[in-house]
């Protein structure tokens, strides 16, 4: 859990991902399209990946736990929550501080 808290406090937008997860890729792609370069942490490439996954579950992530998206240190959720925010127009204001110029 400390690793998650450290990563999410040091980076504005963090996506906990797995290299084989197509939904993780889709969320990362969406953020890139919105001119945000998230810190993507591939938990299947991390020796502590199992512990990270358990900690994400304890923090309120659903199973499967990835993608787990954090913005400004707060857990936003997974694909459904991110896409719902995007479709309602609420995602862009959250990402505005982290968007790069064109």
Domain ranges, residue 62: 2-79
* Tens-digit pLDDT string for the chain (102 aa): 799 999 999 999 999 999 999 999 999 999 999 999 999 999 999 999 999 999 999 998 887 889 999 999 999 999 999 999 999 999 999 999 999 986
Say if residues 27 and 67 touch (Cβ distance below 8 Å).
yes
User: If you count them, how many residues does the chain have?
Assistant: 102
33/42 Cα distance (integer angstroms): 20
Query: pTM for this structure?
Result: 0.95
In a domain, 69, yes or no: yes
In a domain, 84, yes or no: no
The CATH number of whichever domain residue 21 belongs to comes to 3.40.30.10
Residues 6+ apart with CB under 8 A from 72: 12, 94, 97
* Res 99: pLDDT: 96
In a domain, 101, yes or no: no
Q: What is the sign, positive or negative, of the torsion defined by CA atoms of 37, 93, 33, 29?
A: positive
Residue 15: CB atoms within 10 Å: 22
In a domain, 86, yes or no: no
In a domain, 97, yes or no: no
* Structural domains counted in the chain: 1
């Amino acid at each position: 859990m400390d690793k998650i808290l450290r990563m999410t406090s040091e980076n504005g937008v963090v996506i906990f991902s797995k290299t084989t997860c197509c939904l993780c890729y889709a969320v990362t792609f969406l953020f890139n399209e919105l001119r945000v370069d998230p810190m993507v942490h591939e938990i299947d490439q991390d020796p502590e990946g199992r512990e990270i996954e358990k900690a994400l579950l304890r923090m309120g992530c659903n199973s499967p736990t990835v993608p787990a998206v954090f913005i400004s240190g707060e857990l936003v959720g997974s694909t459904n929550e991110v896409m719902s925010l995007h479709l309602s127009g609420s995602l862009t204001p959250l990402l505005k501080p982290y968007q790069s110029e064109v």
